[in-house]
Structure 1
Amino acid sequence: MSAKQKILVVDDERDIVELISYNLTKEGYQVYQAFNGKEGIEMAKQVNPDLIILDVMMPQMDGIEACRLMRAMPEFKSTFMVFLTARSEEYSEIAGFNVGADDYIAKPIKPRALMSRINAILRRNVVESEVPVEDKLEILDLVICRDSFLVYRGDEKITLAKKEFELLYLLASRPNKVFTREQILKAIWEDSVVVTNRTIDVHIRKLREKIGENYVYTVKGVGYKFELD
């Protein structure tokens, strides 16, 4: 595990921050702490972490708003964002994915399971960097730039969250191929990360809102595809 990989933990419960920090440090990560959303953003600007763990409910600024603001900043477009919360309501999970979350972990914290999830998320970054891929896809009227996580349609620049971009890139890289939900989950979230079909649906919906309805199509009962005329 590279000591250069940096993780920022943001939670107003100091015992939770200390528990997570202790376990992350044992795994070889460089750990930083903040105790509300505003502090989290300022610390993130200072240390440029590879991954940020955000509690949803915090004073001054909650995790949802903090994530939304950071996703609007160029330096955090590809930073992994993981939500940590005791709330189990569906709308809370959907709100997290809507602002660009990469994963969603429920309290109470189980250190071994948490470390497995974090290791898997950051390991994807290493694997992706070692596999040569096309830096740019040009398909229909879209230009999809992998290095900048940006999409262009003519002169219009479209900014996507990391998982939205990965989903679009996966589908566009094999136009007209139908990807099952299982294939999408394995390619983007990996087996060690527990997500539901609703996770894919939320990301597809947000993707369509940003790039338009005429690219990604639903194949009922099977999955999704990027369709060429």
Structure 2
Amino acid sequence: IVRPSNSLDIKVQTVKTAYFAKKEIVSTEKTTEAISYTFKGNNNTGTKKRKRKIAKIIYKNLQGKLINKQQTSLEQVVAALSKSNYTKGDCIDIALVKESIKFTKRTSAQLGEEVYIVIQTQYMPDREITLNLKQGGDTDALTTTKEPIYVTQNNKKVFAFKAVVGEFSQKSNALNAADFKDHAIAKITLQSTDQQENKQYKDALNKAEGKTSPFYIAMDEKKKKKKEIKKK
């Protein structure tokens, strides 16, 4: 008996799952490269507490100087502070690292907190997905049921925020960035940029039962026009 082969390679474009998440570092790999930092004043690093305090300041200052997917960690800065005191002009070399990451699903968050929305897809490369965070449940709370609330994305308050399938994978510094090539990932803050609106949200939440309120992710997708994505 001769049967025809399956010549139809049908690829069904699918959103597999969408969820709130926290980005976590799975592992850190130290590289042979380093970045230099020069002190602009006198700094006492004689105790663990002082060393960590100064390290946090240095780590923050380094963020704008890391280029071409370079990255380091707070622990590497702490390790570089080998002396108990530094004066103006002193220089330290801080090891660069590469990290593996994961996105851990979460079921709750606080107003004002930064969260990730992770959408896992299939056969949807470069698709731009528009999302809303809408009031769930049967009772109005922060807004009317099934209506969106403001969130902050890229320092702007928006009802509709966006994510592009594969964009995070192309821009990310992570060692395992390729693992997220079929994901659209949006980073948002659960608040408006308008303080009056934030106060209204907070007051409404305080009046809600248990001081909590359910929300759900709504989305729409479209094919994004091809353009070059610049890597950081």
TM-score of the superposed pair, with normalisation by structure 1: 0.24
Structure with more of its chain in helix, by fraction: 1
Name which structure has the greater RCO, CA cutoff 8 Å, separation 6+. 2
TM-score (norm 2): 0.23
Larger strand percent: 2
